[in-house]
A and B are shown apart, each in its own frame.
Chain A
Amino acid sequence: MTTMTTKPGLAARLSALTKVVELGAGRLDKKLLDEATELLLQAGDRLKLSSEHTVVALAGGTGSGKSSLFNAISGLDLSPTGVRRPTTARTHACVWGFDGTGPLLDWLQIQERHRFSRASALDKGDGQLHGLILLDLPDHDSIRALADTEADRLIGMADLVVWVLDPQKYADASTHRRYVTELAGHDAVTVFALNQSDRLTTEELAELVIDLNDLLRREGVEHPSVVPTSAVTGRGIESLKSVISAAVGRRRAAIQKLEADLARLERRISESMPLGEALSAPSSVDEARRMGLADALCDAVGVPAVGDAMESVYAERSNRWVGWPYPRWFGKFRSDPLKSLRLDDVGKEVRNIATAAVSAQSAEVANAVQALADGVSVGMHRVWRSAVHKAARSNARKLPQTLTDDLAAVAPPLDRVPAWWTLLRVWQYVLVLAFVVGLAWLAVGLFMPDQVPPALELLGDSEALPWVGLMTVAVLGLGALSGVASRNFVELGAARERERLEREMRRRVAAVSTTMVVEPVEAELTRHQAFYTALRDLSG
């Protein structure tokens, strides 16, 4: 038993089908998947088994003369014929050249007692049939066949099927609807024997052959090969034999049959999942979409708002640290509504609110993920689209929490006090002090110039007083100016801090979204791409 040499096409297509089955699991229609798996198994089995033999099955309705034809071809009375319908219930096999057929017949599940060999009877002129395994199938259309799928099974397994038709039944729906219309593309491995031709006159036969040819063409058999036969008179048996022996001689029927089966399956898969533009669908999530996702997630966390809040809080607090103290002190004299409501502690709490951590809002996270999935799956087959969605959502539950945790780590403690705030504050208080000193000087100089101790007589110097006054005012102005300046410094710093913060948050959000959303989606996209590539390879 040698392994068949297949033309590169078949092997490649079978492996493409393997891929389709593998990648299509859960995506492709279950029935198609099963059939594809079945076909792969069958192809694998058949290709492993004897390539020297060609399995030819005689199929047809009850009473069409399959067994008679079988006997006529084999030249022996192997299969019982009869007038009762249905006659044959078990498949009979006749082998020309018995060597190596055992496993093949086992595979076909032909019972031992129904196997016959023409090896010994080979002799006369049957040389060209060497390698033929002829099967006489049970019918497929009687009431018995309703419960018995043997014929159906073997019709699917045989390399070459000879449909035995007869003048009465050649147009039966049971043959045509169930089998023949499925045969498009199987021309090379299907032969129609119009049996019982002895019942017709020559003219009738000619008319009938034409009618049958038309019928078959209408059903998609492009080049029907119809052989009129008669098991009774022996007419046409030789032609049928030669058609069979040609197929047997080529040793290609098995491959042709598999190719035809493959083509049929491929057509059906393509129907259910048309290739269309599928291959132009993205196989990865492009930069723009990643950015879009990261932005949407940042919004879900409220990154810009967090930045705003940080700025506001800094500004508010810096006011307390580095603002020009006088206005602040004056402000305290204004009545505090909280105080009047006896909610003093609320004020403190409000101030503390600013220290709470950031968190992600799960509904927005879900919407962001959905939007990404919608975006990348545009134009895909429904099944794949929902697969992409499923992949995108694979971490949906964990995502908000992970974002929250991750970002909380970078969120700045809003109550931090930078060192330069302290310096500024010291400077402010120096100015405050200077102002007080200036005032004191003025007071002394103006009101009690005479009582100045001699050591401090300068204080009493009236000449200096205007200057002192000027300076005091200047200090006040300087303080106010420096208050404004430090506010600006603080804001500048806060802006810089915010920028850093937002950058960091975005980076983290992007990182999280990549691992938890983008990667699963890309895996699915890759699978999608691979599936359709395999499908394209399958259709060759």
Chain B
Amino acid sequence: MFEKPAVLQQPAAPTTSPDMPETPSERPSLFVKPASLGGPGSRAAPADVPAAGEEADAASSVPVEHDPADTAVIPAVSRDAAPRVPAAPTTPRTPDDTATEARPDTHTPAPAAPEPAEPDAEAGSAAEASGRASLATGEADSAATVPEHETGPETDDTIAEVAAGAPEDVTSASADEPAGDAFAGTFGTATAEPGDSAAADDMSHRSTSDDTTAVAAADPDAEPTVGETAHPSHDEPGPTAEAETAEAAEPAPTGDTAETSEPTQETPAVEADERLKTVEDRAADSGATKSGTAEDRAAADLTTDDRIVAAGATVHQVAEGRIVDAGAAVGQVAESRVVEDSPAATHVADDRAVEDGGAAADQVADDRVAESRVTAGLSAGDGADDGVGGEELPAELVEALTSALGTLRETVAGLRFGLDLPGVEEARKGQAALLAQLDDYVLPRIKTSTAPALIVVAGSTGAGKSTLVNSLAEKNVSRTGVRRPTTGHPVLACHPDDHRWFAEGELLGGLPRLSAPGDDKHGLVIVATQKLPQGVALLDTPDIDSVVEEHHEIAHRMLDVADLWIFVTTAARYADAPAWSLLRLAKERGARLAIVLSRVPQKSSDVVLKHFVRMLTEYGLGEIDRFVVHESEVTDGRLPDAEVTELRLWLAELSVDERRRARAVRETLDGVLNSFRTRVPALAKQLEAQVAFRAELRSDVEAAFLGALAELDRASRNGSLLHGEVLARWQDFAGSGDLIRSLRVRKRGRAGRQVPERVLAFKAAVRAGLESVIIAAANQACEEVAARWRHRAELGAKLGEDLDRPSDDLVRHTTRAIASWQDHLLELVRTEGVAKRSVSKIVKFDPDSLALIFMVAMFSGGAGEGVPHRLVNALLGAESLRAIGAKALTDLRARVGMLFDEEALRYAQALDSAGIPDESAATRLYQATYNLEVAR
């Protein structure tokens, strides 16, 4: 888990084996270190991987089983041959021989060279090579080459697994295939990984013999090349590449060639820091068999997987219970899943079949299997054990993650989505889910990565989730019944030893623990039962699709904290849309998933299964663990034991095999952390949308009121103010002679007189005219804002609902503003409008009237023609007219601007009342996400 950014990866330098050209492939897997860092040891892993090149990634990172069809996992389902894994160790032989002997096709010509090392080459990468394709072709020699690897002690990550698969039908002996082909086929695995192997001891390779590398991943692509049989098996592909696995085993049995020693190695990759790895090489010779086989095994352990590769000799695999014997005995333990390869000749008709490969058969058995059986041949028997070590996360990593997650949590918790924009509901839900998941699951899980695995049983209403849990727990922990929906409370069943962990642990800390399901209380019921194996807990959840919608939420919340998902559906429901949307979710999250198809009528079992599997495969979920529960009599809320045996076994294996469990846990955790890459930015996007929306609305307001102000400017310049009453009053004022009378010859002793009525009326008219212009402009602006807001979004319409008219105060405020403006103008005229000296000697004027004349002159625009202009000009001079005019206009504009600002404030308040998004929150989110990535 915790992949590193792709950038860091480097292509490994492949070592080439003589025969095979190597193709360096890049490994996508994270965790790879740059070559430069690589230890001394290098591995050459020329794997042959067919087609691999393309998908190197997949392959490398995880071992998953790919073939849907053959998934080993579900035995019942797959009747077909078990998947085979491809790694084939080969000895150089003559084709014939090989054929005859039924050996694994692949041969690796072992490139001797590689062994010691080229620093660059890494074994790890090599591992992948999938033999299969090449194998399929069946040539022992040609094909697979591979691997050897050496591992340095230090190898970081690496690991190749080896799967030497022999195609089943290898019978065809086209034994020799040109190496070239093989190559082609091979994955590019040959890459060396940097970190890897250092100078391990190295492996011995023998030149003749080869090693096989196991390929961890099987790619889909590869398949085509390979025959059907040759599928790569692989294991899981955790999206996150996990640490790596090492695998490699290669035994090369060579009949002829004698020596068999193969080095295997493994390098486990461990997280950056630690890596441990033991490399083991073993060479086993099995002289006994005709073909001398050598076995190698590398046990890699890494945190994650182990795989054992059995080379040449017989290998037993028990993959799900099957044992395969390869000609030589090689036991390998592969990681969790077993890949079986039967080298050449073997047909694996059934799973069970045992294959003998004269050659080496590799298998990667599932862990479960693996453990149990490594058969004889293994001289080497290595311990699968090594691997386990990596379970607990290194302390520094935990610390870094915890702090990065803590910051993320705080940031997310601090988010407020105030504006009800489209998508906000999702964002709020996403936020709540994220928080709950962080608190209930991620943080506790990182702190205690070794805690028991929580397996959440989810699915449709009536699918039999509770029945299944009851049956597995052999206790009625959860109510069953015919009413739908039945279960409303999550019920957790676990081994008594784990009880404390769940009852008091932080996992699901947000949910109160209930002693028994209550009707109204929201909480979690924990039941202990001896019948469940230790280390795994089952959580029965409410449905995902009934009419009671709160159940869906609870179920999703439970899934958020799951280490593994068991998805239960039925023969009647497997095509339901909600079921598939849940599967899609699992896929997106990268959660470890197992599917139970329940209530399958015996008689139609085959048809239904086939169809379901096909749908799954089309959906890209073909390789998931599947279990079938037939329709049967349910007594006392439980199914007959026979129906759940497989599941029980699966649980038991999970319980026993800590590594496998830990890996599953980690994969899911990794998937969840990966999902943060999209979920957190989604929140940030919504925030940004809110900020942007708010900015847009504000700019709407601004634009509208700026427009209103511009309207006023226009009216004050183009003479449109001098219409209507103002014009009539001006006529009245001028025509009545008051205008002339207001200018009078200066005489001593004549004090100011009363302002005539007409002047007052005229002044009032001007004020009214200005007011009407301002109010009309404000009206228009308000309507425009409301219309724009409505146009933007529903929320805008809601916010602007009562704001399509100016406030009631506007008229009053306008009147006041204009009146004071007029006073201001009067003052200006009085103080600044000093008449020309020549004029002031003979003429005295009435400032009120002059101010009015001034306004008319100002508002009439034009080029200074007309009576008012000439009068003012003659009295005050052109200069004053311009200066006072400019001041007066600026002042008017400022006053009106304030009025409009007040109006605009109402909109701002409406916006604020809807919620003020935090503008920097989005950035902080991105930052937190980035930090998390860095920490990983």
Contacts and interface: CB of A to CB of B under 8 A. Distances in A.
A414 B728 contact: no
Contacts of B460: 168-169, 172
B728 A305 contact: yes
Contact of A305 (B484, B548, B729): B729
Nearest to B843: A337
- Quick one: which of B726, B731, B736 has the most chain A CB within 10 A? B731
Contact of B461 (A142, A171, A362, A386): A171
Nearest to B601: A83
B484 A168 contact: yes
B362 to A, nearest CB: 38
Interface string B568-604: 0011111111101000000000000000000101001
B715 A363 contact: yes
Interface string A115-149: 00000000000000000000000000111111000
A354 B726 contact: no
Contacts of A359: 723-724, 727
B732 A166 contact: no
B577 A367 contact: no
Contacts of A174: 545, 576-578
Nearest to B607: A83
Contact of B725 (A61, A146, A204, A361): A361
Contacts of B737: 312, 316
A84 B608 contact: yes
B450 interface: no
Interface in B683-731: 715, 720-721, 723-731
Contact of B547 (A85, A166, A173): A173
B878 to A, nearest CB: 14
Contacts of B867: 346, 349-350, 353
Contact of B870 (A63, A143, A346, A366): A346
Q: In the complex, which range does the number of interface residues on chain B fall in?
A: 35 or more
A338 B843 CA distance: 9
A208 interface: yes
A312 B731 CA distance: 9
A416 interface: no
A26 to B, nearest CB: 15
Given A85-B572, A305-B765, A316 B736 contact: yes
Nearest to B735: A354
Nearest to A309: B732
A370 interface: yes
Contacts, number: 240
Interface stretch (B740-748, B815-823, B904-912): B740-748
Interface string A45-65: 000000000000000011110
B678 to A, nearest CB: 22
Contacts of B727: 302, 356, 358-359
Given A169-B572, A171-B485, A312 B724 contact: no
B772 A316 contact: no
Contacts of A414: 735
B520 interface: no
A399 interface: no
Nearest to B611: A84
A255 to B, nearest CB: 30
Given A350-B867, A363-B772, A85 B743 contact: no
A167 interface: yes
Interface in B523-558: 545-549, 552
Interface string A200-227: 1000100110010001000100000000
Contacts of A173: 545-547, 549, 552, 578
A211 B547 CA distance: 13
Query: Which one of B484, B758, B874 has the greatest number of beta carbons of chain A within 10 Å?
Result: B484
A9 to B, nearest CB: 34
Contact of B776 (A171, A312, A341, A363): A363
B511 interface: no
Give the most central of A143, A176, A208, A404: most B CB within 10 Å.
Answer: A143
A166 B751 CA distance: 105
Most buried by A among B482, B801, B871: B482
B400 interface: no
B608 A338 contact: no
B736 A337 contact: no
B617 interface: no
Nearest to A313: B735
Main secondary structure of the interface of A (DSSP, over half): helix
A354 B761 CA distance: 17
B547 A308 contact: no
Contacts of A337: 740, 743-745, 842-843
Interface string B766-788: 00110011011101100000000
A334 B744 CA distance: 10
Contacts of B739: 350
Most buried by A among B548, B772, B843: B772
Contacts of A341: 743, 839, 842-843, 874-875
Given A169-B572, A353-B731, A367 B775 contact: yes
B483 interface: yes
B734 interface: yes
A358 B732 CA distance: 12
**Central interface residue in A306, A308, A360, by most chain B CB within 10 Å:** A308
Interface string A289-302: 00000000001111
Contacts of A404: 723
A178 to B, nearest CB: 11
B577 A141 contact: yes
B462 A168 contact: yes
A334 B741 CA distance: 12
Contacts of A40: none
A12 interface: no
A143 B619 CA distance: 12
A288 B875 CA distance: 49
Interface in B587-638: 599, 601, 604, 607-608, 611
Contacts of B572: 62-64, 85, 166, 168-169
Contact of B570 (A168, A211, A312): A168
A173 B484 CA distance: 11
A398 interface: no
A361 B766 CA distance: 12
Instruction: Give the interface centre of A61, A337, A349 by most chain B CB atoms within 10 Å.
Output: A337
Contacts of A176: 547
Contact of A354 (B601, B734, B843): B734
B772 A367 contact: yes
A354 B731 contact: yes
Contacts of A343: 870-871, 874
A204 B571 CA distance: 21
Contacts of B839: 341
Given A299-B725, A362-B720, A313 B743 contact: no
Contact of A347 (B580, B736, B740, B804): B740
Given A86-B575, A349-B867, A302 B735 contact: no
Contacts of B780: 366
Given A172-B545, A174-B577, 9 more contacts: A168-B463, A173-B552, A305-B761, A334-B745, A337-B740, A337-B843, A341-B874, A353-B867, A363-B775
Nearest 6 Cβ contacts at the A-B interface: A302-B725, A361-B724, A63-B572, A305-B728, A312-B736, A354-B735
29 contacts: A62-B572, A84-B607, A141-B576, A143-B576, A167-B482, A168-B460, A168-B461, A168-B599, A169-B573, A171-B484, A172-B484, A173-B545, A173-B546, A176-B547, A177-B547, A303-B728, A306-B731, A308-B761, A313-B731, A349-B867, A353-B731, A354-B734, A356-B727, A358-B724, A361-B720, A363-B776, A366-B779, A367-B775, A400-B723
Interface of B: 460-463, 482-485, 545-549, 552, 570-578, 580, 599, 601, 604, 607-608, 611, 715, 720-721, 723-732, 734-737, 739-740, 743-745, 758, 761, 765, 768-769, 772-773, 775-777, 779-780, 801, 804-805, 839, 842-843, 867, 870-871, 874-875
